[in-house]
């Protein structure tokens, strides 16, 4: 199996179990398929806050199947490829319920690449191996000193850093009488101290470290040498950038006014009524008190429909949020513009079509008629959009 960005496709799937967040999978009861070209197929099943992952050629029953190549799949998971761009350009496809795909993002902690471990000994060699490179000659003007390091423990050792005539030299022993000597009982403490994991006060206070000789010189170490950079820290920025997450949820009340109110009231009686412009004759649905085009009041009420023909349907694949509830709409769905009987031209009325009939809808165009539809009324009508559940084919 090929590696992409240093990671195999299998690594992503094999770590899913340990990255799984049950709290992000609440209420999810579904299977998700992954078809990775040339690598194989995997099926992720989630139920009751638990998950299973299996490599299988049978992706039946999955609500959505992600189809992509190994490089894109790994790239998106390790953050090297922008998922949206891959999706937009068709490199990553999702077959099925796109809305459901979004749920998987919440279910897993981010994949992190397993790092090669560095031992205490590796660190010590790296730290002293880079001292000469990190030396700042300008800061050591007139300094003639020897720093000795006596580091105990299994991985410890002795080093001397000699500064003289604006040069620096490191040797792996302690020779003669150093200007100052740092003693650490355990070399690991020195590593942790250098990486900023533990502070000098704690070590000195606990007598795990001691300074013999000129302590003022020790304080100047930071001026003489650039800070040691942990090679395992990756590309973490110096300052962590924070993003604050907020959710706004407010209750709202909207007055309908007398015209819209009358229109909504009529829905309770299973009637669709609109207002007709006295000047241009157009019927507006829902009813509006003004014909904005003619700048006159529309006072005449007419009952139309309730059956009519579809003039246009938006076949929506995009998992759009319903701004009134915050819930993601189930996809695909069809929002339709219907010319109700009694209306003409572009005097259309809008609602949804029964979801299982989307693929059977013919749209009108000029003289061509669209599919005939009828409203399906809600049994419990309150004078709102939801008094009509949806329209269905009139057959």
Stretch of 34-42, 53-61, 221-229, 344-352 lying at the interface with another protein (CB under 8 A): 344-352
Cβ contacts of 66 within 8 Å, gap of 6 or more: 32, 33, 34, 35, 73, 92, 93, 94, 101
Strand-pair category, 272-276 with 283-284: antiparallel
Asked if 112 interacts with another protein (CB under 8 A), we say no
Q: Which of 64, 337, 340, 371 binds another protein (CB under 8 A)?
A: 337
Q: How far is the CB of 213 from another protein (least distance, A)?
A: 45
User: Which residue has tokens 């008190």?
Assistant: 289
Give, for 288, the enclosing helix (H) or strand (E).
none
The residue within the footprint of another protein, chosen from 317, 360, 376, 382 (CB under 8 A), is: 317
Q: Does 274 bind another protein (CB under 8 A)?
A: no
Tell the burial category of 331 from Cβ atoms under 10 Å away from its Cβ (0-12, 13-18, 19+): middle
- Of 106, 169, 321, 327, the one binding another protein by CB under 8 A: 321
By CB under 8 A, residue 363 contacts another protein: yes
Contact region with another protein (CB under 8 A), list: 19-27, 35-43, 138-146, 346-354? 346-354
Q: Quote the least distance from Cβ 299 to another protein, whole Å.
A: 18
Minimum distance, C-beta of residue 88 to another protein, in the bound complex (Å):
5
Decide if residue 370 touches another protein (CB under 8 A): yes
Q: How far is CA 291 from CA 2, 280, 303, 348, in A?
A: 65, 9, 18, 15
Which of 103, 347, 371, 390: binder of another protein (CB under 8 A)? 347
Interface of this chain with another protein, residues 211 to 270, rule: CB under 8 A: 241, 243, 248, 252, 254, 256, 260, 264
Q: Does 312 bind another protein (CB under 8 A)?
A: yes
By CB under 8 A, the residues from 25 to 84 that bind another protein are 82, 84
The pairing of strands 30-37 and 64-69 is parallel
Task: Specify the DSSP element, H or E, that contains 87.
Answer: helix 83-88
Residues binding another protein: number (CB under 8 A): 54
Determine the interface stretch with another protein among 15-23, 107-115, 205-213, 320-328 (rule: CB under 8 A): 320-328
Beta strands in 19-172 (DSSP E): 30-37, 40-47, 50-55, 64-69, 93-96, 145-151, 157-164, 167-171
Contact yes or no for 22/28 (Cβ under 8 A): no
Q: How far apart are CA 323 and CA 326, in angstroms?
A: 5
Name which of 107 and 267 has its Cβ closer to another protein: 267
d(CA 121, CA 166) in angstroms, rounded, equals 29
Q: How far is the CB of 323 from another protein (least distance, A)?
A: 5
| C-beta of residue 352 within 8 angstroms of C-beta of residue 336 | yes
Distance, first Cα to last Cα, the chain: 55
Q: In whole angstroms, how close is the CB of 112 to another protein at the nearest point?
A: 19
Positions in the binding site for another protein (CB under 8 A): 82, 84-85, 87-90, 93-94, 98, 241, 243, 248, 252, 254, 256, 260, 264, 284, 286, 292-293, 310-318, 320-324, 335, 337, 339, 344-348, 350-352, 363-366, 370, 385-386
């Amino acid at each position: 199996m090929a590696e992409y960005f240093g990671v195999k496709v299998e690594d992503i799937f094999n770590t899913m179990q340990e990255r799984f967040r049950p709290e992000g999978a609440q209420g999810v009861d579904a299977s998700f398929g992954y078809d990775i070209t040339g690598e194989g197929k995997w099926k992720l099943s989630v139920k009751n806050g638990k998950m299973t992952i299996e490599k299988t050629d049978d992706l039946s029953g999955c609500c959505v199947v992600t189809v992509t190549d190994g490089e894109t799949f790994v790239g998106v998971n390790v953050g090297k490829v922008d998922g949206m761009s891959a999706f937009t350009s068709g490199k990553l496809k999702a077959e099925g319920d796109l809305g459901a795909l979004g749920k998987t993002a919440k279910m897993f902690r981010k994949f992190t690449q397993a790092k090669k471990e560095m031992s205490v000994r590796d660190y010590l060699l790296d730290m002293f191996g880079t001292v000469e490179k990190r030396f700042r000659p300008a800061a050591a003007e007139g300094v003639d000193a020897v720093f000795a390091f006596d580091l105990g423990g299994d991985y410890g050792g002795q080093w001397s850093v000699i500064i003289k005539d604006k040069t620096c030299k490191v040797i792996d022993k302690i020779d003669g009488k150093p200007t100052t000597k740092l003693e650490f009982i355990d070399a690991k403490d020195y590593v942790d101290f250098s990486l900023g994991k533990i502070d000098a006060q704690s070590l000195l206070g606990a007598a795990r470290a001691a300074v013999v000789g000129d302590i003022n010189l020790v304080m100047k170490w930071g001026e003489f040498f650039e800070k040691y950079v942990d090679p395992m820290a990756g590309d973490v920025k110096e300052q962590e950038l924070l993003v604050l997450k907020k959710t706004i949820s407010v209750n709202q009340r909207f007055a309908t006014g007398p015209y819209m109110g009358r229109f909504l009231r009529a829905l309770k009686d299973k009637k669709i009524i609109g207002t007709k412009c006295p000047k241009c004759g157009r019927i507006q649905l829902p009813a509006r008190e003004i014909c904005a085009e003619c700048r006159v009041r529309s006072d005449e009420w007419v009952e139309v429909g309730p059956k009519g023909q579809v003039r246009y349907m938006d076949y929506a694949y995009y998992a759009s949020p319903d701004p009134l509830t915050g819930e993601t709409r189930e996809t695909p769905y069809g929002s339709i513009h219907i010319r109700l009987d009694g209306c003409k031209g572009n005097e259309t009325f809008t609602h949804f079509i029964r979801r299982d009939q989307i693929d059977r809808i013919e749209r009108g165009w000029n003289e061509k008629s669209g599919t005939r539809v009828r409203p399906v009324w809600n049994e419990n009508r309150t004078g709102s959009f939801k008094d009509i559940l949806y329209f269905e084919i009139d057959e």
